[in-house]
Structures are given as C-alpha cells and as structure tokens.
Amino acid sequence: MEGSFLPAPLNESNEVDHFLVEPKSDHELGNCLRVQDFSRDFGYEIQTNGDAEVDENSFRQNRGLQLGKPSSESKSQGSSRSDTDAFEISELSATMVMEAEFNNTPVERSLTRELFSGLRTRGGCATPFEGNICDTILDNNNIHKFNTNENYLENEKISDENVKGDIVASKLASCSRERRLRKPTRRYIEEFADSKSENNKGRRKPPTKDKYLKVTSTEESNHIRHKVQMLTPKDESHCGTSVPVQSRSQRRHPEKHVPVSGFLSEDEPSATECKNVYSSAKICKKYDRRKHQKMWTLTEVMRLVDGIAEYGTGRWTRIKRHLFASSPHRTPIDLRDKWRNLLKASCVNIQNSKGTECKQPHASRPLPKSLLQRVYELANIYPYPKERSPKPVREATPPMYLIESNSLSFNWGRKKYE
C-alpha cells in the first residue's frame, strides 16, 4: 500500500503524509488517532492496548490488512457505539481514512491530493474550518459509503464521478451552510466574535459610555480631546454568535496593583504618553480600565477641587472640558466619583479630628490637610448631591484644623497645597 503513494507534489505535504505512511511515535498517534474514531465510525477493527490508544504494531498490521476493506464482522466486533458518535470523529483521523480510501485509484489519489492541498491552504492544522470540511464531506451522502458492505467498491465506482465533484465542491462551498456538527471551541468562538466585531465596528454607533476614550479628535474650545474607542460587552453580545460575555462579577475585581506610597510621583502623563496608551488600548479591544486604573495624582485632585470651586458640583462635563482636557482618561463620571471619595475622606478626617485619636484611614495616600479643608469648604458651598441651597448651612462643627486655619476666604492659592 505504501508503494502506491504518489510522491507529494509539495514539500509541505510530508506533514500530512508522515501520518499516513509511518506513524513516528505513540504521541502522534495518540494525538491524531483514537481507536473509537476508527473502529466505530468506519467499521475497521483496530486492536487497542489498555488505555484505548492505538497500539502501533497492531495499527500497522491492521492498516495493511484491513484498511479499505470494511467488513460487517469487524464492525460487529467493535466496541459498542452509538450513531451520534459518528459526528465526533477527529479531523485527522477522518481525513486519514479518507485518504486511505481514495488512494485506491489514481483518480482518487489525485483527488485526495487536491483535497489536502485545499485543506492546507486554509492555514492552521486544526482550524474549525477543517473540521467543518471534513464533517461536511463525511456527513453528506458520502459517509454511508465508508460504512457499509460488499457493495462498497461498486458504489464507489458508480458514484465516483459524483463523489469527486461533490467533495471538491463541497469542501470549499458548503462549510458555511452545513449544519454545525461539532460544538465550536471557546477560543474559536471568541476569535470569531472578535473578527466579526472588528468588521462591524465601523458601522455601529459606539456606546456612549466610552465616548471619552474614543480616538476621534474633536475641536472644542481650542482643545483637542483624544478619545479611545473601546468595545464593550454589550457590543460583543450583538455579534451573532453565542459569545460568552464576560460576566460582571468576573470583571468586578481585577487584581489591582495597590501603590505602596502616596500619589504618583509624576503628576501628569504627557500627552503623547496618554495617546500611546490609549491608541494601544484601541488596538487591544478588550481594554479594561479596571485593570489599568490610573491613580489620581495630587495635581489632579487639586485641579478637580479648583474646577468645583469654579463651576460647582454637578458640572462635571464642564470641569472635564476646561480642566481635564489634557487627561483623556478622566471622564466626568470619574471626576464625580473622585469628588465623592474626597467628600468621604474629608468627613472621615473630620470625625477623626473630633475624636481623641487621629489616625489616617489611608496612610498610604495622605491627603494634605489644606486640601481636605478646601474639600470641606466646597462641600458646604456646593453640597453634594446637588440641591444647591442659596445659603449653605453649616451644621457640622468644623474640625480643629479648620478652626485654627482661620480664613474661609475663597482665594485659595495653589501655594496652599505645598
């Protein structure tokens, strides 16, 4: 049988042929051949060793003796099988059997070569497309022919013309329309979804929540805002295939790297740095802000406080436009959240300064007292949540550092924060 092989037209054919001619190791056999695939689905009897992998010697014998000669006896001797198992055959074993079958005649050999070259040109060895092709070929009115009886050879010759056309045509055309017999792998699903979402990205309206990360440049009061567009789980859910959307609980708690000490030393990332970060973030579409959280620098906090002092609370977009135009990673919601945290921190400090022991809740990131004082004053001026009372009521007694630091005047100079 080995003598009937035609020399491979291409060097790369050896990759496939070596499986067919000389199995080199048990490992390869174990990877590409399962006994069940053979004996169940094609009626070939292949002896097995204990762990149900193909014994090499017996495989050689059986291949020489019995391949291409399916018999009902051997089938009956085979292990118990169910018909549904026929669709779980692995790609390589399927193609291997097919090549063994089709190598009976020169026409079939060339046909098989063609089929294999077609498969190879699709790239990777184990892509789902190959699986579809093999399944399709086997699933069409061809599979019965491998599986039956003495009429095998006659049927083979009779239907040879049709089969030849069917295989060549169906191997390329029908992989998309045939019913999917094997459950696609998770990775395939994700990659497919990614590519598809990439195709749809230009057509779909980006979600509003990430608009400040979009990379389009819009002019606005002489500022250029750099935005990065990201895909969201919502986007992926529209992709047609059943893409497993990462649940919120999974995204909820990414491992965040807690800074060891204080605010970041470098206050503002340069504009180019931001651009690089977020253009790369655009490239990798699953950019998760939670995994790349940006610590608030002291200057950012000061700027936020300045903005609130100027525009008041609840004008987050305005503050963002005017004071955070150069930091695209801060959305108005971020500003608001930060302000909420600042309020909390100032309240905590107030409570602590009332008590005997003044222990810093966030010792790693101590806020300057002057800053907390300003937050406190702003909280009184612009109570949050909104409801801007015309006359701020001061119900809480100011903490000690507020009392001794006298002036509640509004001319907070930046030098106060040093």
Partner DNA sequence: TTTAGGG
Partner DNA sequence: CCCTAAA
User: Which residues in this chain contact DNA in the complex, by CB under 7 A?
Assistant: 208-209, 211, 232-233, 248, 251, 288-290, 293-294, 313-318, 329-330, 332-334, 336-337, 384-386
CB atoms within 10 A of CB 145: 17
Q: What whole-number distance in Å separates Cα of residue 346 and Cα of residue 219?
A: 36
Helices (H), 226-270: 233-237, 248-252
Which C-beta is closer to DNA: that of 39 or that of 313? 313
Which C-beta is closer to DNA: that of 208 or that of 272? 208
Q: Which residue's entry shows tokens 């092989």?
A: 5
Minimum distance from residue 378 beta carbon to DNA (Å): 14
112: exposed, middle or buried (Cβ count in 10 Å: 0-12, 13-18, 19+): buried
Which C-beta is closer to DNA: that of 198 or that of 337? 337
Minimum distance from residue 308 beta carbon to DNA (Å): 11
Minimum distance from residue 39 beta carbon to DNA (Å): 50
Which C-beta is closer to DNA: that of 121 or that of 249? 249
Which C-beta is closer to DNA: that of 142 or that of 346? 346
Minimum distance from residue 84 beta carbon to DNA (Å): 39
Residues with Cβ within 8 Å of 221's Cβ and at least 6 positions away in sequence, in order, are: 321, 322
Q: Are 45 and 78 in contact (CB under 8 A)?
A: yes
Minimum distance from residue 411 beta carbon to DNA (Å): 26
Entry field: residues in the chain: 418
160: exposed, middle or buried (Cβ count in 10 Å: 0-12, 13-18, 19+): middle
Minimum distance from residue 399 beta carbon to DNA (Å): 24
Residues with Cβ within 8 Å of 130's Cβ and at least 6 positions away in sequence, in order, are: 91, 119, 122
Which C-beta is closer to DNA: that of 103 or that of 313? 313
Asked if omega into 385 is within 30° of 0 (cis), the reply is yes
Minimum distance from residue 209 beta carbon to DNA (Å): 6
Which C-beta is closer to DNA: that of 64 or that of 254? 254
